[in-house]
Chains A and B, each alone.
Chain A
Amino acid sequence: MGLYAYLSLAAVVFSIGLFGVMTRRNTVGILLGIELMLNAVNINLVAFSRFHGEVTGMVLTVFAICITVAEVALGLSIVILLFRTRRTAMADHVDWLKG
């Protein structure tokens, strides 16, 4: 399989993630969508790294995975905080700030 097969796979995964982010009503679902988008990036990076025969792309992938975990951990804690005060995890119900 050539490079473009991997790039296409990544593009499909990224699009599914973006679609999920746009259409999901549950904040945890939106977080899952973001995870898919970030994993598409990792496929891209590893494919390019392999294609160029150069290792820094894989290093970047490891960094990306670590940082993403930190980001999602913070996101889940915000969801819990929101759930404690509002008793809901639905994005639609979070609408006190407007204007």
Chain B
Amino acid sequence: MNTSYPLVIESGLFTLLLAVFLLGLVRRRADDLLAGWVTLVGLAGLTLAAWSAEPGRVALEGSFVLDELSLFGKRLFLLSGLLSVLATLAMTHPSFRRRGTEYYVVFLASLLGMLVLASARDLIVLFVAFELMSIPLYFLTGFLKGEDAAPEGAMKFFLIGSISSAVILYGLSFVYGAAGTTNMAAIPPAVAVGDPLMLLGLGLMLGGLGFKIAAVPFHMWVPDTYEAANTPFVAWISIAPKAAGFVAILRLYVEGVGEAAVLWVPLIATLAAVSIVAGNLMAIPQKNIKRLLAYSGVAHIGYLLLGLAAMSVSGVGMVLFYLVAYLFGNMGAFFVVQAVNGAEQSDDVEAYRGLARRSPMLALSLLLFLLSLGGIPFMAGFWAKLFVFWAAIEQGMYLLAFLGAVLTVVALYYYLVVARRMYIEDPAVPTPIPVPAPLMVAIGGCLAGIIVMGVYPEPWVQAFLRVALTLFSTN
């Protein structure tokens, strides 16, 4: 494959999308599994292509760049998409299988939006990519339309998503007005001189992006959407669109801005503190494990913002590390939830009673994922938390780091409540839980991820610091 053309991964994904679409037209009543496998193989190939791609090229007169950050984003989106499709292949829901091809086509369209977003250096490309990513997500949330909750979850997600899009676009119009061009290279000079229109625009956009990454107070849609949608999809939206939001934030507020980026620290630090506190506290009373993971996800967004608030090379590098650690831990936890739901038809924490005696491996996997999310040593999540706290302390934000560390204990409490149900209580039914083969592979992949990153974080840290350095060194 000729990787010298910057848009090669996007072109490949678009071809895959068309292929799956045509397959759906030709094999109208067929079982969806073929479309699923084609999607899986195609995504695996594209992931490999993304890993072998070299940074440092631009296309479309600088509107589309293939730099270190965009490659990081593309690899993360493709990897999470791959894991999600693997888990989707294990969905046995009849109404899902019948319309499976539709699901994959729309899923790939959203993924295409993310890949383009990672490379956007122009406001028009940024906006179009953002919408290409978001609109399919509303559709996919309501995909199981026969279920009672699905249309309601889709409706709430749609309304809040489109309001946030309108706010982002309103902010974007001011950014364009202040810069006089849609090229994002014009943003740093205007921020440096403190152009009020530019600051107004970027402030509005930060509010809109806050909705997309689900920071408190813009998080209301998260638990309802997670509860309503099918689990492999939830595993994916718990990380990929949020990572996309962070990539957009890094592009708009950090890249090339240099010292003036300190301007955003109070705002981001406040969002971080509120998200950490509210997310963790609201997770405690949850009885449904998807809602529990949703609120804990809000808290994780807070920790990510904490790293971002440091506005330093190490802070941004550790945000990237945290995103990858969170990808493996959170997706893995959702995959175990999917396996248990397949057997029990329930997402209640109650359904996890005695899981260790029914399926010891499944229980151990969930325990490891939760411990990684909680930040126990020698799991990926431990280093992730340690590194963001370290980055915050380096910049003298002792109070914020202390707050984060205290709330980590609260997070451990509600994770261990689930662990207690699995390990100490007796099961209601002693039969083991069947795990379909693709789902087992997905869980295994996530386990490998958190353990490798936990035991041997060094090369990852170096790679992410290098990415962060490119953001601060331009101009």
B227 touches A97 (CB 8 A): yes
A44 in contact with B180 given A71-B131, A74-B138, A82-B155 (CB within 8 Å): no
Residues of B within 8 A of A82 (CB): 151-152, 155
Looking at the assembled complex, report how far the CB atom of B13 sits from the nearest CB atom of chain A, in whole angstroms: 20
**Is A27 close to B, CB under 8 A?**
yes
**Is B170 close to A, CB under 8 A?**
yes
The majority secondary structure among interface residues of chain A is helix
B224 touches A97 (CB 8 A): yes
- Across the interface, B288 reaches (CB within 8 A) one of A14, A64, A81, A99, namely A99
A34 to B182 CA separation, bound complex (whole angstroms): 24
A41 in contact with B170 given A63-B124, A82-B152 (CB within 8 Å): yes
Could you write out 12 A-B pairs with CB less than 8 Å apart?
Answer: A30-B159, A37-B163, A45-B173, A47-B177, A48-B173, A48-B177, A56-B176, A60-B127, A63-B124, A67-B135, A78-B151, A99-B288
Interface residues of B (CB under 8 A from A): 123-124, 127-128, 131, 135, 138-139, 142, 145, 148-149, 151-156, 158-159, 162-163, 165-167, 169-170, 172-174, 176-177, 180-182, 223-224, 227-228, 285-288, 291
A54 touches B153 (CB 8 A): no
A72 to B131 CA separation, bound complex (whole angstroms): 12
Residues 16-64 of A at the B interface (beta carbon under 8 Å): 17, 21, 27, 30, 34, 37-38, 40-41, 44-45, 47-48, 51-52, 54, 56-57, 59-60, 63-64
Residues of A within 8 A of B149 (CB): 96-97
Nearest A-chain residue to B228, judged by Cβ: A97
A52 touches B180 (CB 8 A): yes
B135 touches A71 (CB 8 A): yes
Provide the A82-95 mask, 1 if CB < 8 A to any CB of B, else 0.
10011000010010
- Across the interface, B155 reaches (CB within 8 A) one of A21, A27, A38, namely A27
A63 to B181 CA separation, bound complex (whole angstroms): 16
B139 touches A74 (CB 8 A): yes
A99 to B295 CA separation, bound complex (whole angstroms): 11
- Across the interface, B170 reaches (CB within 8 A) one of A30, A40, A99, namely A40
A10 to B287 CA separation, bound complex (whole angstroms): 45
Residues of B within 8 A of A45 (CB): 173, 176
Residues of B within 8 A of A10 (CB): 173
A64 to B173 CA separation, bound complex (whole angstroms): 11
Looking at the assembled complex, report how far the CB atom of B384 sits from the nearest CB atom of chain A, in whole angstroms: 28
Residues of A within 8 A of B288 (CB): 99
B166 touches A38 (CB 8 A): yes
Residues of B within 8 A of A38 (CB): 166, 169
Looking at the assembled complex, report how far the CB atom of A28 sits from the nearest CB atom of chain B, in whole angstroms: 11
A63 in contact with B151 given A57-B176, A78-B142 (CB within 8 Å): no
A65 to B155 CA separation, bound complex (whole angstroms): 21
B174 touches A34 (CB 8 A): no
Looking at the assembled complex, report how far the CB atom of A20 sits from the nearest CB atom of chain B, in whole angstroms: 11
B162 touches A44 (CB 8 A): no
Give the interface size class of chain A: 35 or more
A56 touches B124 (CB 8 A): yes
A27 touches B145 (CB 8 A): no
Report which residue of B172, B177, B287, B291 has the largest number of chain A beta carbons within 10 angstroms of its beta carbon: B177
Looking at the assembled complex, report how far the CB atom of B452 sits from the nearest CB atom of chain A, in whole angstroms: 35
Known: A52-B180, A60-B176, A97-B152. 19 other contacts (CB 8 A): A21-B163, A34-B159, A40-B170, A41-B170, A48-B173, A57-B182, A59-B124, A60-B123, A60-B182, A64-B127, A67-B127, A72-B162, A74-B158, A81-B154, A94-B156, A97-B149, A97-B227, A99-B285, A99-B287
Residues of B within 8 A of A99 (CB): 223, 285-288, 291
- A-B pairs, 3 with minimum CB distance: A48-B177, A44-B173, A37-B166
A27 to B159 CA separation, bound complex (whole angstroms): 9
A41 to B167 CA separation, bound complex (whole angstroms): 9
Nearest A-chain residue to B152, judged by Cβ: A94
A70 touches B148 (CB 8 A): no
A78 touches B176 (CB 8 A): no
Residues of A within 8 A of B167 (CB): 37
Nearest A-chain residue to B124, judged by Cβ: A60
A37 to B204 CA separation, bound complex (whole angstroms): 13
- Across the interface, A56 reaches (CB within 8 A) one of B152, B165, B182, B224, namely B182
B166 touches A81 (CB 8 A): no
Looking at the assembled complex, report how far the CB atom of B148 sits from the nearest CB atom of chain A, in whole angstroms: 6
Residues of A within 8 A of B181 (CB): 54, 56
A74 to B157 CA separation, bound complex (whole angstroms): 12
Looking at the assembled complex, report how far the CB atom of B283 sits from the nearest CB atom of chain A, in whole angstroms: 11
A85 touches B170 (CB 8 A): no
Residues of A within 8 A of B152 (CB): 82, 86, 94, 96-97
A97 to B142 CA separation, bound complex (whole angstroms): 14
